[in-house]
Amino acid sequence: MLRTLLVAFALAVFTLLAHATGGVRLAAQAVPDAPHWAYGYMKPPAAGESAPPCPPVARPFPDCAYPVTPVADDGVKRTLPGTGRSFTRNESYFDYGPADWYPEDHPAMPDVVAKGKQADGVRACALCHYPNGQGKMENGGVAGLPAAYIQQQLADFKSGARRSADPRKANTNEMAQIARRLTDEEAKAAAEYFASMSWRKWVRVVESDQAPRVRATTNGLFLPVAGAPQEPLGQRIIEMPEHPESTELVRDPRSGFVAYVPIGSVAKGEVLVTTGGDGRTARCTLCHGADLKGTATVPGIAGRSASYIVRQLYDMQQGTRQTKTMKAAVAKLTVEDMVSITAYVSSRIP
Ligand code: HEC
Ligand code: HEC
């Protein structure tokens, strides 16, 4: 009851504000400032700055990625709570068979998920999306998505219908390269595998006017700078691992993320998501389900990586991720709306 009242109140305030500003926000340029923080960058791209192109012929190296200076393995076997297994850093990161810390958390992996295809430079899906499909913020979560939806996305990456709006984002290019090098059978096996698991809570949303200072790694993972003072958040979402050490060093697939969002953004987002905000967007719950957990054909969005969700909304608005169904929902959104919508969506429990 209180919640209903609050929503009604928030909606009234929202409507009032929209009128008070004479719809200026609606008329504003849809893309005043790209949310580069959602793509894992500290600042916008410099003129002409972009990821290296993917060569047409496979090389043994994962050739779309920015070359990462190899880290000499210190040989230290590390372990994690609740597993008898131990791996060195480089074993955890092995491109063609990364550490599987908790085999009991998932069904048997198809080969392409567990190992990829070394001869074709296709790195294992488990490297970036984890064996349980929960994934890291710079990649995305694939567990619990409808199998047909996963196959459609792989087809869209392959055809070029799905690209990143940020020209620097090499790992999205690599994802497309991987999709191009999968056989139909491999794509189907991976899709069915990830679809067979359920999505679980992966991001803790914290409303704040400050966030820890972060640095960006090569591939778009943010890590907090130890000992640095907090910084003003502004109209951004800053996401980082809950336990930076275990995510960064050994890719702990049970350790999720924390997303700092602006104060008041969750309530603002709830209004947009559940009502459409007076024509500003489409009511998300109509298609993604009342609890945003998705349906047999529509992907669930509840409790998923905040930076991933902002990237998708922005990519779809820019048209680098083509969509018919989502067009009306994203057309008029400002980056601030995307921040609010995402704050709410990511805070939902899947
Ligand atoms: C090098 C890291 C990497 C590897 C390896 C990788 N992916 Fe991805 N994947 C990504 C990135 C990056 C994205 C897109 C993120 C973005 O643009 O926001 C993505 C997105 C996806 C999506 C879209 C998810 C959604 O919610 O729409 C699917 C499906 C997917 N990957 C499946 C796979 C499969 C299957 C494999 C193995 C055959 C694989 N990926 C291997 C990095 C990777
Ligand atoms: C008319 C139905 C419909 C509405 C309304 C709708 N969506 Fe979607 N959404 C879809 C479908 C279907 C997809 C799958 C991609 C596609 O078909 O383009 C999708 C995809 C997405 C994705 C990408 C998911 C992923 O895993 O990559 C996000 C994020 C998303 N929607 C968020 C929203 C939000 C937030 C709203 C409300 C502001 C919304 N959607 C409203 C149907 C809808």
Does the C-beta of 340 come closer than 6 Å to ligand 2? no
**Which pLDDT belongs to residue 61?**
58
Which residue has a Cα nearest atom 33 of ligand 1?
A: 125
Burial class (CB in 10 A: 0-12, 13-18, 19+), 242: middle
Q: Please give the mean pLDDT across all residues of the chain.
A: 89
List the one residue out of 285, 221, 295, 210 whose CA is nearest residue 257. Answer: 221
Does the C-beta of 112 come closer than 6 Å to ligand 2? no
Which residue has a Cα nearest atom 31 of ligand 2?
A: 326
Nearest ligand for residue 131 CA: 1
| pLDDT of 21 above 60 | no
| pLDDT of 32 above 60 | no
List the one residue out of 107, 193, 205 whose CA is nearest residue 150. Answer: 193
Residue 35 CA to its chain's centroid (Å): 13
**Which pLDDT belongs to residue 68?**
72
Residue 273 CA to its chain's centroid (Å): 19
Q: Ligand 1 site: residues with CB under 6 angstroms?
A: 112, 123, 125, 127-129, 139-140, 142, 145, 150, 153-154, 164, 171-172, 174-175, 178, 182, 190, 299, 308, 311
Residue in this structure with the two tokens 């060569």, named with its chain if needed = 55
Which tens digits make up the pLDDT trace of 260-291?
A: 999 999 999 999 999 999 999 999 999 999 99
**Which pLDDT belongs to residue 243?**
96
Which tens digits make up the pLDDT trace of 299-308?
A: 999 999 999 9
| pLDDT of 74 above 70 | yes
Cα distances (Å, whole numbers) of residue 347 to 94, 99, 289, 306: 32, 29, 16, 9
**Which pLDDT belongs to residue 27?**
30
Render the burial of 32-71: b for 16+ CB within 10 Å, e for the rest. Answer: eebbbbbbbbeeebeeeeebeebeeebeeebbbbeeeeee
Total Cβ atoms within 10 A of residue 291? 12
Q: What is the share, in percent, of the chain residues with pLDDT greater than 70?
A: 89
Q: How far is the CA of 47 from the centre of ligand 2 (A)?
A: 31
Which tens digits make up the pLDDT trace of 109-139?
A: 999 999 999 988 899 999 999 999 999 999 9
Q: How far is the CA of 231 from the centre of ligand 1 (A)?
A: 31
Residue 233 CA to its chain's centroid (Å): 19
| pLDDT of 35 above 60 | yes
